Structure 1
């Protein structure tokens, strides 16, 4: 830490990085507002940094009250940026953690050193290992999983492959790679129809690398299939097709403690009558409420908690994970996916599950920052 930073403030300095280039930009802004509101300013200095949809790193106002969904309108980094042209530059030398701010025609301004980055980015270019790789190169500690686990957690195909290799139960799925659709749409379409023939309609067509239920369509037959594929491909050229699993949607949070990962009480996502499934609007606009804790037996709770921690370890995760499951009608759990940077808004399931488990939102944020500060950078 530089002498200037030390003399001005002995507190660790946390850069909260949010926004980003993915379709989940607005939800990341909402998440950042909640995190900024929760960080204990008596223990930490805070530097908010927003990434615009076109990839510019902007110095933003520390204004959580302007970072919420209001009147069904989504916030953005542009609304918070202090300049439409200024840019924040992270260090590229692991020996220095100084952050610099530049504007055209002005002398670059040193903003001081950063001790840890809290990247509350969702989706590609943030949750997928890209920013984690940048921070590894910079030698700056950060909250959450590393490069490999972040990439695995983002790509639903390889996530499932990892889970299968570790003996975790997953549901039937099929993958349509970019070149398959581009070279021979008829063959790719037949692949999906054959999958539906084996497992039944409806199927869910979704981007392989996206979150917040963006780009997902429930398809009941051939009619609408091409539109569903194109909608998924708007978010990711690789798509995943999954069969309908009849059962209850159960979620479980995992948090890294000093002695290892622990699971929260699980939650249940009830069927939402106004929506075909738990989509973006149900999650964030209409605020469909999950049930916390889920009405499960003690044995079911113990099983899903064990599976959640096993999934966390299988993907080499760190910090936090939300693991999503289906409890099938035959009583078996199937893991659907993990999120290495789950929704973290005040209404999101991950903080709600930990609140019910005895860890408040501010304590949750503090534990994640402390875990990042303890963790060495580089290979581990």
Structure 2
């Protein structure tokens, strides 16, 4: 059987650019080379797309603090409406070899917020992960939590302000509703980018300014005192949940540095030390959240588990990290799915979903 061509799109313009480079490296290293040929498409921080060679696509690949995209001289462009030449070389307009499926491992803004997913739909390419709606909804912490709350799933209390309403943000009002300490977050960022934990009024206003650097909408949330538990979900119409893992941060909270740069920034307890009863309950809530937010393919559901057994969903991440210290693939490894097999299943789910989309009528 002929090998399938897999386009791995990575990098991007977001604050999570370097995380994406690490994720791409791990996927390239682990993908089954007997069944897949890899086509590397790196997006630089200016948004330009580069066709990269596997031997030289990264600089300082082994150092998360210095890792960089090695920009190529072969820029590529996208041609919507084409059947076989959706991607072309920008210099001579010659088409790239037809891709069978795309793994878009671009974290953060313009990568997992529905933007890239919409582009893949426009050019009629199957891709890993949720489609436009699920990606956009999960990226927006405000909208996601409104939907989860409406479905009867517990989430932290919070306040949301757009930049236009910034003058109405009041520290005392926030304290009265949420208490201290509280968390301040950009509504549309991941990987703890722009997130602050604050207790004083000075910290509060400084954190608000910082969050608005990353987004036009800011979320202020109460602190839920509890264990940080995570669950990986895999599937389309009939998703399954992995065993649970626990984050034991060695810092104030599970920061960007702890997640992706400092391997000693947090201890991962895998599997989490929780009862079978609680495990089954959290796995079901993970699947419920996955389906409520219209996810497909994959997502990682992050929880808080309180001392009295209350389960709060903190976040649903539709394109979780695939670095060597990332929880999503680690949880599937202990659940019986190896890294290589996980990538294979994700690609198969992408093609399955695409085939289902093609069966829909596009005209009356």
- Aligned-pair distance for 1:97? 4.3
Q: Secondary structure at the match of 1:293?
A: coil
Match of 1:177 in 2: 162
Aligned pairs for 1:69-88 (under 5 A) are 70-71=62-63, 73-77=65-69, 80-83=70-73, 86-88=74-76
Matched, 1:119 2:104: yes
Given the alignment of the two structures, is residue 146 of structure 1 paired with residue 131 of structure 2, yes or no?
A: yes
Alignment of structure 1 residues 149-168 onto 2, 5 Å: 149-168=134-153
The residue aligned with 1:129 is 114
Candidates 332, 339, 345, aligned match of 1:367: 345
User: Residue 328 of structure 2 aligns to a residue in which SS?
Assistant: helix
Matched, 1:252 2:242: no
Indicate the SS of the match to 1:58: strand
CA contact (8 A) 1:30 1:68 kept: no
Q: Secondary structure at the match of 2:354?
A: coil
Call closer, same or farther: CA 1:94–1:332 in 2, change over 3 Å. Answer: farther
For the 8 Å contact 1:28–1:122, the answer to whether it is kept is yes
Are 1:205 and 1:232, in contact at CA under 8 Å, matched by a contact in 2? yes
Aligned mates of 2:129, 2:249 — CA distance in 1: 30
Q: Pick one of 277, 287, 292 that aligns with 1:309.
A: 287
Output the TM-score relative to the length of structure 2: 0.93
Superimposed CA distance per residue, residues 295-350 of structure 1 (whole angstroms, 9 cap, x where no aligned partner): 00011101110000001110111000000000012211011110000011121000
1:67 Cα deviation from its structure 2 partner: 6.5
Aligned CA distance change for structure 1 residues 235 and 39 (closer, same or farther; 3 Å): same
Deviations 1:263-311 (A, max 9, x none): 0001001131xx2100011111212231100000011101110000001
How many residue pairs end up in the alignment? Answer: 356
Counterpart residue number, 1:110: 95
Give 2:18's aligned residue.
26
The separation in 1 between residues aligned to 2:13 and 2:89, in whole angstroms, is: 20
Give CA deviations for 1:1-52 in whole Å, capped at 9, x if unaligned: xxxxxxxx93211100000010000000100000111111110111000111
CA separation of 1:152 and 1:221: change in aligned 2, threshold 3 A:
same
Residues 33, 67 of structure 1: 8 Å contact kept = no
Q: CA separation of 1:313/1:335 partners in 2, compared to 1, >3 Å: closer, same or farther?
A: same
Q: What is the alpha-carbon distance in structure 2 between the residues aligned to residue 230 and residue 296 of structure 1?
A: 39
The worse-fitting range, judged by mean Cα deviation, of 195-204 and 41-50 is: 195-204
Q: Distance in 2 between matches of 1:296 and 1:63?
A: 43
2:271 match:
293
How many Å apart are 1:64 and its aligned residue? 8.1
Distance in 1 between the 2:322 and 2:59 partners?
Answer: 13
Task: Compute the displacement of 1:116 (Å).
Answer: 0.7
- The alignment partner of 2:351 has SS state of helix
With the length of structure 1 as denominator, give the TM-score of the two structures: 0.89
Aligned mates of 2:55, 2:267 — CA distance in 1: 26
Please state if 1:229 is matched with 2:208.
yes
Establish whether residue 37 from structure 1 lines up as the match of residue 38 from structure 2: no
- Unaligned ranges ≥5, structure 1: 1-8
Is this contact kept in 1: 2:11–2:17, CA < 8 A? yes
**Correspondent of 1:337 among 309, 315, 324:** 315
Report the equivalent of 2:39: 47
**Corresponding residue number in structure 2 for 1:5:** none
Assess, with a 3 A threshold, how the Cα gap between structure 1 residues 218 and 337 changes in structure 2: closer, same or farther.
same
Q: Give the conservation status (yes or no) of the 8 Å contact 2:184–2:196.
A: yes
